[in-house]
Amino acid sequence: MSLVANTGKLAGRTLFITGASRGIGKAIALKAAKDGANVVVAAKTAEPHPKLPGTIYTAAEEIEALGGKALPCIVDVRDEKQVQNAIDEAVKKFNGIDILVNNASAISLTGTAETDMKRYDLMHNINTRGTFLASKLCLPLLKNSDHAHILNLSPPLNMSPYWFSIHVAYTMAKYGMSMCVLGMSEEFRPYNIAVNALWPRTAIATAAIEMLTGDTSTSRKPDIVSDAAYAMLCKDPRTYTGNFAIDEDVVRAAGVADLKPYACDPDNIDNLLPDFFLEEPGQTEKAPKKAEQGGGQIPALFEAISKTISADLVKKTQAVYQFNVKGKEEGVWHLDLKNGAGACGAGEPPAAPDATLTMDANHFADMFAGKLKPTTAFMMGKLKISGDLQKAMKLEKMMKSLKNKM
């Protein structure tokens, strides 16, 4: 659902897009293809992935079906030779490169203790180093273009400690991409090469988001990002550089008044999941004391949960949760969906928790009642998570299952 009209400004231009075999990268490629642009699909996926659809070859077919020209290249942005070879092939086929889109990215929403160094290196080598490398190698060709752009899919540099505290390794890796924008926009200004960043206001319905949350109903379609990218890449590089743009701001400036068609579920237009790094959520207080059994909605809630725990739920979830509840019903609770037949109740779990969640009692009740999704609560700062964030997000699917039984 593209709402920004194609103008033909990218006709004949050559775009080198990393990670363009699926998701946002492919959406940007397809939008440019409608202008008759040339697109280098620089991504790793040459063979179909068992869980993620799309390869460099299927993306190339879609690009050409829309009127563009495509060059599928097997590229791991960590490998300098592979990047250079793809650039050389682009020069042979298209006589140069006008636009570089640094879209390839790796993510692990884990705290310091839970982030193994292999995953740390992967994120930094793909996100920060890969962006720097592709920009460095494309630079000689961009200098020869009269419409040179570099666009990084990275966030504004929000230095709130919150965004570092929950996944410092990932934050550093993404901010590395943004620091490339900050530095290169000034460094390349004399060459009339625009360097900008683009980031979504909300979660975007990509395969990665679906795997993380199990749900895309509170997300927007990739089209809002591709529309915004298109609008940015059509601007004069001599005057439009050094910007940290947000997708919805860009499309509004391009004349889109109604953003509702971008929503995956129009009924959730007022309940979209905000993306990382854009706001400064409220900080949580110290962990509460151990809960006491007795009256109140939370003890009743855990009593109901205990009746719904099954071997199948334990097998599917494989996680231990600790809940630090604040406010009127302050206390500590646990839910073990990893060991034996599963268990829940007051106090810390017998086994070390995979994820510890801290939130106000009212939000906690809303979360288990299905009124507030854990992912939404986390992004809004109503929920603080420490430990394995991806296991914490499994609560979304689990709560749907529990709600149906309670």
Question: pLDDT tens, 249-293?
Answer: 999 999 999 999 999 999 888 888 888 898 755 433 333 344 444
For residue 353, give the H/E element and its range: none
Q: What is the number of structural domains in the chain?
A: 2
Half-sphere exposure in the Cβ direction for 314 (13 Å, CA) = 15
Q: Does residue 195 sit in the same domain as residue 90? A: yes
Examine the domain organization and report whether 89 and 142 are in the same domain: yes
Within the chain, which residues score under 50 in pLDDT?
282-294
Alpha carbon 276 to its chain's center = 8
Residues 339 and 261 in one domain: no
Bridge partners (DSSP) of residue 204 are 220
Which residue range(s) make up the domain with 341?
297-405
Q: Which of 170, 147, 176, 16 is nearest to 82 (CA)?
A: 16
The last residue of a domain, from among 268, 287, 307: 268
Between the two ends of the chain, the Cα-to-Cα distance in Å is 38
Q: Is residue 2 part of a domain?
A: no
Check 57, 120, 162, 170 and give the catalytic one.
Answer: 170
CA nearest to 175, candidates 164, 162, 186: 164
β pairing state of 69-74 and 319-326 = unpaired
- DSSP letter string, 212-278: HHS--TTSB-THHHHHHHHHHHTS-TTT--S-EEEHHHHHHHTT----GGGBSSGGGTTSPPBPTTS
Residue 65: inside a domain: yes
Which tokens in the block code for residue 280? Answer: 């400064």
The reply to whether 253 and 366 lie within a common domain is no
Within-domain flag for 215: yes
Same domain as 220, residue 111: yes
339 located within any domain: yes
CATH of residue 168: 3.40.50.720
Does 192 lie in the same domain as 123?
A: yes
Domain shared by 237 and 363, yes or no: no
pLDDT score at 293: 45
Q: Are residues 53 and 138 in the same domain?
A: yes
170 is catalytic: yes
Same structural domain, 306 and 224: no
**One domain for residues 307 and 345:** yes
Instruction: Say how far apart CA 235 and CA 215 lie, in whole Å.
Output: 35
Name the packing angle between helices 361-368 and 297-306 (round to 10°).
Answer: 30
